[in-house]
Structure 1
Amino acid sequence: MSTKELLGQSATRIIELDIEGMTCASCVGRVERKLTKLDGVEASVNLPLESARVTAPEHISDQEIIDTVNKTGYKAHLKPGQRTASPAGSSSESTAAATNPVSESPEGITLHPGDHHSSSAGTLDEKGSNEGARRSAASVLKPRLILAAVLSLPIVVISMIPGAQFPHWGWVAFALALPVVTWSGWPFHRAAAINARHFASTMDTLVSLGVIAAFLFSAWQLFTNPTITAHTGINMGDHSLYFEVAAVLVTFLLLGRYLEARAKARAGDALKALLDLGAKEATVLRDGVEKLIPADQLEKGDVFVVRPGEKLATDGVVIEGNSAIDTSLVTGESVPVEVSAGNAVTGATINTSGRLLVKATRVGSDTTLAQMGRLVSQAQSGKAPIARLADRISAVFVPIVISISVLTFLLWMIFSGDLGSAFTASVTVLVIACPCALGLATPTALMTGTGRGAQLGILIKGPQVLEDTRTVNAILLDKTGTVTSGRLEVTDVTALGDTHAEEVLARAGAVEAASEHPIARAIAEAAKHGAGTELPHVSNFHSAPGGGVRGVVDGAVILAGRPGWLENNDVSIPDDYRAIFTRQQESGATAIYVAQNGRMVGVISLKDTIKENSAAAIAKLKKLGLRPLLLTGDNKEVAQQVAAQVGIAPEDVFADVLPEGKVDAVKRLQEQGLTVAMAGDGVNDAAALAQADLGIAMGSGTDVAIEAADLTIMGNDLNQVAQAIELSRSTLSTIKMNLFWAFAYNTLGIPIAALGLLNPIIAGGAMAASSVLVVLNSLRLRKFGK
């Protein structure tokens, strides 16, 4: 739950439910309406995930929520790992059965979660349970589908091809259709019956009514006139038997449901793959002895060993060793990150070279991977504002369709008197109008888009974010850590007198190597890289905080630091040397003086370098219709130089901005009528991220920044910011496309069916195809960024 939500809903809690038996948008709407009738309860129900995310006040117990869903005609239970709560927050053992139900599912499919244990991924078990449920749904439907297909084929052949008919073929068609309509079609009939007991109707109601009506009408015709098919050569237009319609409807609809179940499972594959990244085992170091244990048994403070090629079992800090860490599985960035003692590392990343000893700082549900899983899961469980229209329509859709079907039958009888045509038209209306595509349009696209984003290191906090990315037209970029690397690098070495630049850097690097200051580390790294060998040994090392360092290298006393500190150590600085120092500072560099045996020998300049892809990323943001603006606490000259290098206009630079002034900068832009996105990575960015219309946290930043943001980029590449906005817009576009075709299908299909221009068999195939096509259209998002 976000910080914003916590501020306004401190007396509420989040409950996540698995719900069995939902098949269409009408089911979703009915469950939501029943839950929201409870005092203070808000609910968002997700059809593909077969789950609900419920916000409830403390005085409403978990059991009351579960009972409300059960009374609606479905079966609910808490997701594994959650404890039930009674009013006043006390634990309630009476609801234990609800967490592992043996239930009657309206779909005729009983699915039970197995025993689950905690894992380093946090939400892996819950997602694994849902994934298994969807796979199980497909496996249960498969034998029913096979039987229906095998028996329907001969029914269609003898009913529609005169040359294949034989005396009394109608009785054979009846015998073959009976198991198809009853056993194969049982999931539809059972769901319709359970819903009817609760005075409700759903897509299954329409399917069941259509199939039963076609079969019973045909059986009545056959039993009242047993010789109706006594002669061969009768085509389907010469009789009133619709056994082939009933059988093929069941087959098509089962095929659609089966393909839908498999496709929905695929839509969740990205999140499952993300959560499966976690290491399964860890080599923990206890009392000096290495011991292999399950990763979920790691405790905070444990020290574990990571050998080359192994995954890090959890988040931690390196306490010994040097290596390069492949973070691509989590951040989406392909370049390995060099780490050594003191560097933070993330669980599920891969150690590519040296042996590391890591101290666990986060375990279980607190890890970065678990947080990623929760953010994606919450986004998938939410509901985009655009989906509310589908919910409102589906709430009244089925009763209206049944009314239209009855009216169609009556009008055909009044104006034509043809019982067969009246029956065919009314059944076709029932079949063509099933609103399953509406229920799948939004959540399948949301599941696929957010899952793909997670694979790319992009976390979308909720469905509302999709709407926000559509309207954003300006993006405020924090300079340090976002546009620039946030790390100082040596950019220039000026040698004075007869000293060589390489010698200046090597001597200064040797002394600085003994210091932990960021400037010292940058100089030491540059010196080591330039020398290509180990740096000379330093003795008599001394560090003065805020001043500089001193040490003896190869018998010479080397000082490196600021001018004032060198003067305090009896080093004379001529005016022309001061001019060099001043020029470097004016260019935006940090300048360090180097002296040897009391004499000035050089100046080393360092800058916070611009990230390699920043200019290309900003060009891409412009192409997406966003106006990039730069925000920094640095002086105007430095800010303008950075802006010029990455392609930001001079008038779009906010310089000399204090941390508390970042919020004011966002507000000023909003007052100008701009819809503002803000990208940042630090604690001092959190308030501005929350103020912005769209907050984007760079994943290298702090938890506070990530919590305040709407989008989180797990990597450090500004290109991912543009990619995140592009993915969000693509997901929203897919949702709109799905909804358009779902609405268009029903809007066009019902009047065509009512006019008798559509055969029930074709209607059944089209209805099943519509659901599958909506899911397949959503699955196109899996290829985003490839």
Structure 2
Amino acid sequence: MQTEKETQHKSDIIRENYKVSGMTCASCAHSLESNLKSLNGIVQVSVNFPNQSIAIDYDESIVSIETIQQSAKDIGYDILIGEAKDIQDTFDDIEEKRLNILKSKLLFSVVFSVPVFIIAMFFKGKIPFENWVMMALSVPVLFWSGLEFFVVAWKRLRHLSANMDTLVALSTGVAFTFSVFNTLYPNFFLSHGVTPHVYFESAVVIITLILLGRFLEERAKSKTSSAIKKLMGLTPKQVSVIRNGEERIVQYEEIVKGDLIILKPGDKVPVDGKVKKGESFIDESMISGEPIPVFKTKGDKVIAGTINQKGSLRILAQKVGDETLLSQIIHLVEQAQSSKPAIQKLADKLAGVFVPIVIGVAILTFIIWYTYGPDPSLTYALLTFITVLIIACPCALGLATPTALMVGIGKGAEQGILIKDAQALETAYKVDALILDKTGTITEGKPRVTDLIWEEGKYSKQFEQILLAIESQSEHPIADAVVKHLKDGNGLTRDSGSFESITGMGAKAEIEGTIYCVGNEKLMQANDISVSEKLVQKAKGLTEEAKTVVYYSVGTNVVAIIAVADQIKESTASAIQQVQQMGIEVYMLTGDNKQTAAVIADKAGIKYFKANVMPADKGHFVKELQEQGKVVAMAGDGINDSHALAQSDVGIAMGNGTDIAMESAGITLMQSDLKQISKAIKLSKATMRTIKQNLFWAFIYNLIAIPIAAGILYPVFGFLLNPMIAGAAMSMSSISVLTNSLRLKKRSNI
């Protein structure tokens, strides 16, 4: 049984989520996590690098958030505290400023590094005071552009850890220091019969290349919150409400339950509520994904974020602020993004082990040569020590992943596959479950006329023109599809005479004493209009095909029926077959009814489908498959897909979809063709194969070169690797990685 004290202590434990600035790599997240976990009062810490956020469970009776914030600052990170909206704005400003500074440092580094490289490679010994010139050009590169590497390396050293920054700082620092010494005191090594080489170009080129990779990564990372911002943008800033019998304009944040809200044509619905007065069509595609707006009248529910069409409504606010379905979708997208595992760069993981080994080998080399080496032993010890550190430079290791990804992303762009998130490209090859949204992904995403069947002997150009005239005046969304179909057939519009729109049924017109009706079966029944048995059977068949049937009557008889449906894209069936042949299970999710879903799934060749699915259900289904151990890709085009796209391992947005879907996804298919999915997966396989090859050769090079640099061949062959040759070998390893990455561009089977 818990004591009162224990209960009180447990209640002091709270969980908070914060934004973090200053993280530059996946191992930064690990470093921050380890540091905070050591604090007394911290129960649990989870740092998410892609989302730049941290979730902390802590006992506020033992440790304050200010103490936690200070502990993070001590190792170079800033936990932002305050109101959520203000924090997001502050974080965005910090990250934008950081990206601009990084861009400036990169450009500055390029400007100063290029002359150093040219002098060292092409004009060696031809320029007066060349070593002094290169030293002067290298100083700003190391101590402004590359300063952060040394700062981070020092902080790592204080906490006895290492990453790529440590290797960069160590190798460039040693190369620069050794070069400065040889520039200032060239006679030291000359007096011992050794030529005093300088390695300024190695130091500045390493920093420039690593900065380039970091800039590209930071620029991609800066877009991670765009989907959240755009979802938030679906709520209007100001709303018209009726309070105490008066209409007034209030801020969105001031809306309270019970407010009567006025919606004009084109307005966004600000809250979840109920229609109290008026009739209109509401575009609910952001929730259901279905392209046809839904008719709303008194008593019907409306949802925040949806868009009022042509009518005016008064709605009663029932759920406001964080209670609305839109707010829940925003929360789910945020949660899905933060629950993604951090991008654990293989190079960073390996560097954590590799750095201590290299340092250990370098120190051991120095000791052995100083103790057992020939005279002058100190000179040989210094040369071998420096050679080991230079040849172990992480340039090839650092380029192994980003160069392959850059080429892979470029190759994808050529094919119309835009890759926003490199993590998606790294993961796509492992996908074994593909979820497809129906509307706009499998289908075209907009209703169109599939069949126009005239009663035998009843067709006339005049009837067709009148049908076009009536539908041109109708506000019903299906009428737009009929108008487009008839206009594509060069139908000519004529005066529809007296026109009457009948809510929920269709439209009616009188021309020269004849009544014309266009609408559903209810409209025909209400006007005692007869339908031939032949058209009845045709209409039944079309309904079974999940098509919406519209009746067109002249006088008291139906002369034609029109079928409207959202058609499957021509390439869908073959594209799905290609994916299935790759051993990937395909699922279809839709907010549409079961009958329509079954028809579409059958035509597309999809075995598994779910109907009547809400946005949150899509995300939960993704999570269910992930819990079964599957690597899930989700392809969609709507706002209602944003949660599932963010939750999936690989989010794929269709190019004709919403901006929010594209921001939530890691890959966008510009041609909106599902055949591009199999191409994206093949591209991922080729890219990952290249990355693994690059890492293999980078490490094989080090495994072979480091022992030679340490002097392992000297006792047998009398061979000692010159530091200059070590610098050249290091450059060659980088060139081999770049060359291997560029081979991706020539792949013809992607």
Matching residue within 497, 504, 507 for 1:546: 504
For residues 627 and 86 of structure 2, the distance between their equivalents in structure 1, rounded to whole angstroms, comes to 49
2:170 is aligned to 205
Residues in 1 aligned to 2:376 and 2:121: alpha-carbon distance in whole angstroms: 34
How far has the Cα of 1:409 moved from its partner? Answer: 2.1
Query: 1:408: how far off?
Result: 5.0
**In the alignment, does 2:582 pair up with 1:582?**
no
Q: Offset of 1:509 from its aligned partner?
A: 2.4
Q: Residue 221 of structure 1 contacts residue 240 of structure 1 at CA under 8 Å; is this kept in 2?
A: no
Q: Is the 8 A contact 1:259 1:772 kept in 2?
A: no
Partner of 2:699: 743
Go from structure 1 to structure 2 and tell me whether the alpha carbon gap of 1:26 and 1:408 turns closer, same or farther (over 3 Å shift).
farther
Contact 1:405 1:426 (C-alpha < 8 Å) held by counterparts: yes
Query: 2:15, 2:55 within 8 Å by CA — same for their partners in 1?
Result: no
Contact persistence 1:263–1:775 (CA under 8 A): no
Cα separation, partners in 2 of 1:551 and 1:662, compared to 1, 3 Å: same
Aligned to 2:476: 517
How far 1:686 moved relative to its partner?
6.0
Corresponding residue for residue 560 of structure 2: 602
The corresponding residue for 2:280 is none
Query: Secondary structure at the residue paired with 2:497?
Result: strand
Please state how far the C-alpha of 1:150 moved relative to its aligned partner.
Answer: 7.5
| Cα deviations by residue, 1:164-192 (Å, 9 ceiling, x for unpaired) | xxxxxxxx9xx865665687478669979
Q: Which residue of 2 aligns with 1:766?
A: 729
Aligned to 2:674: 718
Partner residue in 2 for 1:529: 488
DSSP 3-state at the match of 1:241: coil
**Residue deviations 1:74-133, cap 9 Å, x none?**
xx8x8xxxxx956899999xxx9xx9xxxxxxxxxxxxxxxx9x8xxx987654443232
After superposition, where does 1:486-525 map in structure 2 within 5 Å? 486-500=445-459, 504-525=463-484
Q: Write the deviation string for residues 486-509 of structure 1: whole angstroms up to 9, x where unpaired.
A: 322112221114222755543322
CA drift of 1:571 comes to 0.9
CA separation in 2, counterparts of 1:542 and 1:492? 25
1:240 matched to 2:193? yes
CA distance in 1, matches of 2:150, 2:223: 38
Using the TM superposition, name which of 557-566 and 206-215 deviates more. 206-215
Correspondence 1:654 to 2:653:
no
Deviation larger for 548-557 or 711-720: 711-720
Q: Which moved more, 1:577-586 or 1:669-678?
A: 669-678
Q: Is 1:254 aligned to residue 204 of structure 2?
A: yes
Q: Encode CA deviations 1:739-767: one digit per residue, 9 max, x unaligned.
A: 33332222222122222453321211222
8 A contact 2:646–2:664 mirrored in 1: yes
Deviations for 1:204-244, whole angstroms, at most 9, x for unmatched residues? 4345446656886999894699xx6xxxxxxxxxx72221x
- The equivalent of 2:106 in structure 1 is 134
Deviation at 1:596, TM superposition (A): 0.6
**1:697-753 alpha-carbon deviations (Å, 9 max, x no partner):** 557667887787665667744345445545555554454344333322222221222
- Corresponding residue of 1:400: 360
Query: Distance in 1 between the 2:619 and 2:47 partners?
Result: 33
CA–CA distance in structure 1, aligned partners of residues 733 and 29 of structure 2: 19
Q: Secondary structure at the match of 2:566?
A: strand
| Cα distance in 1 between the residues matched to 2:47 and 2:627 | 34
Match of 1:516, as an amino acid? E
Letter aligned with residue 54 of structure 2: T
Q: Match of 1:491, SS?
A: strand
Give the one of 10, 15, 21 matched to 1:16.
21
SS state of the match for residue 153, structure 1? coil
Aligned residue pairs total: 603
In 2, the alpha carbon distance for the partners of 1:684 and 1:269 equals 27
Question: Per-residue CA shift, 1:268-308, capped at 9, x if unaligned?
Answer: 88999999xxxxxxxxxxxxxxxxxxxxxxxx99xxxxxxx
d(CA) in 2 for partners of 1:624, 1:479 = 21
| Pair 1:569 & 2:568 matched | no
> Aligned AA for 2:548?
T
| CA–CA distance in structure 1, aligned partners of residues 403 and 729 of structure 2 | 19
Q: Give the conservation status (yes or no) of the 8 Å contact 2:433–2:584.
A: yes
Query: Matches of 1:687 and 1:86 in 2, distance apart?
Result: 26
Tell me how far apart the structure 2 counterparts of residues 273 and 256 of structure 1 sit (CA, whole Å). Answer: 27
Determine the C-alpha separation between the residues in 1 that align with 2:694 and 2:340. 16
C-alpha distance after superposition, 1:548-582 (max 9, x if no partner): 21113566421112233212202122323311221
Aligned counterparts of 1:27 and 1:581: Cα–Cα separation in 2: 64
Q: Which residue of 1 aligns with 2:231?
A: none
Shift of 1:587: 3.2
Q: How does 1:303-702 map to 2 (within 5 A)?
A: 383-384=343-344, 386-387=346-347, 389-394=349-354, 396-407=356-367, 409-410=369-370, 413=373, 424-442=383-401, 458=418, 460=420, 463=423, 465-466=424-425, 468-500=427-459, 504-533=463-492, 535-553=493-511, 556-622=514-580, 624-632=582-590, 642-643=600-601, 645-646=603-604, 648=605, 652-654=607-609, 659=614, 675-681=631-637, 694-698=650-654
2:65 is paired with a residue whose SS is coil
Identity value in percent:
30
Contact map agreement 1:42 1:56 (CA 8 A) in 2: yes
Q: Which amino acid aligns with 2:552?
A: V
Change (3 A) 1:26 1:14: closer
Q: Are the aligned partners of 1:206 and 1:402 in contact in 2 as well (CA < 8 Å)? A: no
Per-residue CA deviations over 1:316-354 (Å, capped at 9, x if unaligned) read 9899xxxxxxxxxxxxxxxxxxxxxxxxxxxxxxxxxxx
Q: How does 1:157-236 map to 2 (within 5 A)?
A: 177=131, 184=138, 202-209=167-174, 222=187
**Closer, same or farther in 2 for the Cα pair 1:397/1:56, shift >3 Å?**
farther
Structure 1 contact 30–395 (Cα < 8 Å) conserved? no
TM-score, normalised relative to structure 2: 0.63
SS in 2 for 1:487: coil
Shift of 1:627: 3.1
2: CA distance, partners of 1:741 / 1:777:
10
Q: 1:184 to 1:467 in 2, by over 3 A?
A: closer
> Does residue 59 of the first structure (1) align with residue 65 of the second (2)?
yes
Do 1:590 and 1:605's aligned partners in 2 also have CA atoms closer than 8 Å? yes
2:628 and 2:137 map into 1 onto residues whose CA distance is: 65
With over 3 angstroms needed to count, the CA separation of the structure-2 counterparts of 1:258 and 1:269, relative to structure 1, is: same
The answer to whether residue 27 in structure 2 is matched with residue 68 in structure 1 is no
Q: Unpaired runs of 5+ in structure 2?
A: 1-12, 57-63, 161-165, 226-250, 253-264, 269-333, 714-718
Is the 1:267–1:444 Cα contact (8 Å) retained in structure 2?
no
Task: Measure how far apart 1:485 and its partner are.
Answer: 1.5
In structure 2, distance between residues paired with 1:560 and 1:204: 76
Shift of 1:694: 4.7
CA contact (8 A) 2:99 2:215 kept: no
Matches within 5 A, 1:54-133: 55=54, 59-60=65-66, 64=70, 67-69=73-75, 127-133=99-105
Secondary structure of the corresponding residue to residue 606 of structure 1:
strand
Unaligned runs of 5+ in 1: 1-7, 47-51, 71-75, 79-83, 100-115, 156-171, 229-238, 276-299, 302-315, 320-373
- SS class of match (1:573): coil
Q: Distance in 2 between matches of 1:503 and 1:430?
A: 88
Q: Take 2:442 and 2:419, find their aligned partners in 1: how far apart are those partners?
A: 20
CA distance in 1 between partners of 2:534 and 2:95 (Å): 64
Letter in 2 for 1:59: I
Residues 1:491 and 1:579: Cα distance change in structure 2 (over 3 Å): same
